[in-house]
Chain A
């Protein structure tokens, strides 16, 4: 099955980013394909390259970057990003800024959309 993940919350403050990442790991292990991850609302903060958590904790931004390196399209909404100062230079590698149209395309091309964050 093809899945798209829509993530609406920022990192650490809530569990949404972790839950989304865990779902993606489990789905891929079960043989499903992730069509894309779309970051909206405060979700755009998840791929801030300046994130530098304590070493004994998970590195949320790097996790999304690694997922991108594995070929999953991780997209930051430009409208949400501009409001929050998330410019291109701030993104971790293997992620990209694009428009809400990318979300529309992902929805069209997926069997399921899974939304995380309130």
Chain B
């Protein structure tokens, strides 16, 4: 079977108070390293994971912000955020963190904000969706 399967990882949970987002990022790094056509979508409360300026040290929790900032460097390049989920939570594109550096332009990259309809279309293209 082809090793260029289209795989999407959906992240749906709030970033703190549970380990879901942290372990979802670990899955992203591994799946990306297997050469699959990976896309990642942050939906619902998970959009908070992409908000800048977070620091979990006072919670005594390692957190995952360093990993978020290195997604592109580890070949997790197609990172999308649901526009409606952001609007529902008063987040705008300005609030989003950088997820790494574009290889060609060396510019800092942010996740791409997509309408639900575009995400739906992307989902239909996938061979597998890992819903985390």
Contact = CB atoms under 8 A, between A and B. Distances in A.
Contact of B1 (A104, A109, A113): A109
B36 A113 contact: no
Given A41-B19, A108-B3, A115 B131 contact: yes
Contact of A108 (B23, B26, B33, B34): B34
Size bracket of the A interface: 20 to 34
Interface string A86-112: 000000000000011101110111101
Given A41-B23, A100-B26, A108 B130 contact: no
Interface string B18-55: 01100100110011011010000000000000000000
A40 interface: yes
- Per DSSP, are chain A's interface residues mostly helix, strand or loop, or mixed? helix
Contacts of A112: 128
Contact of B7 (A80, A99, A107, A109): A107
A16 interface: no
Q: Please indicate which of the listed interface residues A99, A100, A103 has the most CB atoms of chain B within 10 Å of its own CB.
A: A100
Given A6-B130, A110-B128, A104 B20 contact: no
Contacts of B20: 41
Nearest to B128: A113
Contact of A79 (B1, B7, B26, B129): B26
B132 A108 contact: no
A105 B34 contact: yes
A113 B123 CA distance: 14
Nearest to B20: A41
B5 interface: yes
Contact of B129 (A8, A99, A113): A113
B130 A115 contact: yes
Contacts of A41: 19-20, 23
A55 B31 CA distance: 40
A113 to B, nearest CB: 4
A101 B19 CA distance: 20
A103 B7 CA distance: 12
Contacts of B5: 107-108
Interface of B: 1, 3, 5, 7, 19-20, 23, 26-27, 30-31, 33-34, 36, 127-132
Given A107-B127, A113-B128, A113-B130, 6 more contacts: A40-B27, A41-B23, A99-B30, A100-B26, A101-B34, A107-B7
